[in-house]
Amino acid sequence: MNTASNLHLYERQGAYLPRVAAVHDLCGYGKCSLGVAIPVLSAAGIDVCPIPTSLFSAHTRFPKFYMHDTTSMLNDYLDAWREEGIELDGVYSGFLGSAEQVGVIQRLYREYPDALRIVDPVMGDGGSKYPTYTDEMCEATKGLVDGADVLTPNLTEASIITGIPYEGQDVDEAYVRRMADALLGMGAKSVVLKGVVRGDERVIRNYVAVADGDGSVEEVAGELLPYMLHGTGDLFASGLTAAVFAGLDLRAATEFASRLVRDAMRITPEQPDFEVRGVSFESVLGDVTALLA
């Protein structure tokens, strides 16, 4: 029977570097998305192939930012990849610039049917959508759930996808199980549900559930630091992706990603403008490289 603790999604082969398409936005200032995914995955010995879904002057927590939607170029971009015969071992998607970009990701799934699908359905947090996300985009994003090898929503995103009302971060395991069952029922092969915080506890809990299992959810708990930072979701999903392609099982990958975020967050307050700049992951990249030891 499948469990998170025995689910190995990728087997590393010698010195081969797996190729992973990272379908995210790129910010000039502020630590998130491709600015996090490229170095983290590279540190794990992954050949990262970026597909920029949009270009931002700075991320959306800044009051002033410029956004350029890249939708119109993406099919030509992928046409050139196919002409070059580029192959992929994984597709890791995150923040999108338009509803139409879901179709671009689905094209990747069709053209690379054996590629591992890791979906971080970046849409919102704290019960609200992000400023650039429309109802149409959220509805389209639901189309990435079916067939996802790993789906990594926070509670807000899980609520948007399933239609189950958002009840904040202080939810019991029955609510978590209901949410996970709904996501698995929509076709996800495994789910990592992020960000459960109960009462005044200084603990943050993530829950892992897999299809064809016994219906249980496995809890991965870690220290909750007394401040929030932009980019931690991207760091978590990138760390998890790195660990999966290093050959860790899904529970171990989730534990690694949780520790990576915690350790990066501890360093961050020592940096200028940390409240808006985002999580300082640079000093913990050695922990990612150590996955290959």
Contact present, 116 and 235 (Cβ < 8 Å): no
Indicate the pLDDT class of residue 236, thresholds 50, 70 and 90. very high
Collapse the DSSP code of 82 into the 3-class scheme (helix H, G, I; strand E, B; otherwise coil) and give the result: helix
pLDDT, position 1: 66
Phi, psi of 129, rounded to the nearest 5 degrees:
-75, 155
Tell me which residue has tokens 């469990």. Answer: 3
Q: What percent of the chain has pLDDT over 90?
A: 91
Domains present along the chain, CATH in parentheses: 19-288 (3.40.1190.20)
On whether the CB atoms of residues 121 and 153 are closer than 8 A, the answer is: yes
3-state helix, strand, coil in the chain (%, to 5): 40, 20, 40
**CA–CA dist 80, 95 (Å, integer):** 23
pLDDT grade, residue 216 (50/70/90)? confident
What is the band of 187 on the pLDDT scale with cuts at 50, 70, 90? very high
| pLDDT tens by residue, 258-273 | 999 999 999 999 999 8
Sheet with 150-151: strands ordered across: 67-69, 47-58, 19-29, 90-93, 116-119, 150-151, 190-196, 203-210, 218-223
Is the pLDDT reported for residue 285 higher than 90? yes
Residues of 6-20 as b/e, b for ≥16 C-beta within 10 angstroms?
ebebbebeeeeebbb
Quick one: pLDDT at residue 213? 73
